[in-house]
Structure 1
Amino acid sequence: MNWRRLYATIQIAAVVGGIATGGAGCWAFVIAGLCRMAFQLDENKAMSLIGLPLFIGLMIWFIRLLPKHLRKAGMLSDDPEKFGPWFKRDGEA
């Protein structure tokens, strides 16, 4: 098994998934709250009819969009040599 590739895949999935979940949840909550106040909706209706579909849509959009931007920012890397000292080969400093 290629442990370096497995680590890279887990790192990418965790970082992108975490940031996408947090961002989508935050924006869906804020927009559903604003719609609730603007249209005088019940809390359950606002969250289920506006917040949940918006969360799902934003989550998909963020998962598709974020990897490119996170790689450009240096938060994601496909080079396993940069992941940490525990992946150094024997004899490497």
Structure 2
Amino acid sequence: MNWYRLYASLQIWFAVCLSSAFGAGCWSFVAAGLCRMAFELGDNESMLLVGLPLFVILFVVFIKFLPEPLRRAGLLSEKPERFGPWLKQNNND
């Protein structure tokens, strides 16, 4: 097993999921607050009816589209498939 590829994959998934959760949480909190003020909803109603569904939708959208901007920004390593033969394990050692 190539541990470098496993590490790169785990790093990519962890960074993308964490940044997606943070971004989706921030935007859903803002949207729930705006809907609470606009429609005079209570705290629980606005978070459950607006915030939670928006969080789930934004989380999935960010998981799909966020890896490429994070890679361009330098926060992610290369795709594990692009690692060349220099990172493959040598069984002769």
Using structure 2 for the length normalisation, give the TM-score: 0.81
Q: Whole-Å Cα distance in 2 between the matches of residues 59 and 73 of structure 1? A: 20
Using structure 1 for the length normalisation, give the TM-score: 0.81
Aligned pairs, number: 82
Distance 1:50 1:39, change over 3 A: same
Match of 1:19 in 2: 19
Which residues in structure 2 correspond to 1:8-47 (within 5 Å)? Answer: 8-47=8-47
1:77 CA drift (Å) = 1.6
Match of 2:77 in 1: 77
1:79 CA drift (Å) = 6.5
Question: 4+ residue runs of structure 1 moved beyond 2 angstroms?
Answer: none
Identity between Structure 1 and Structure 2 (%): 57
**For each residue in 1:15-59, what CA deviation from the matched residue of structure 2 results, as whole angstroms up to 9, or x when unmatched?**
001100001001101110110011100111111110000000100
Q: Give the root-mean-square deviation of aligned CA atoms.
A: 1.8
In structure 1, runs of 5+ residues without a counterpart are 81-86
Amino acid at match of 1:44: N
In structure 2, runs of 5+ residues without a counterpart are 81-86
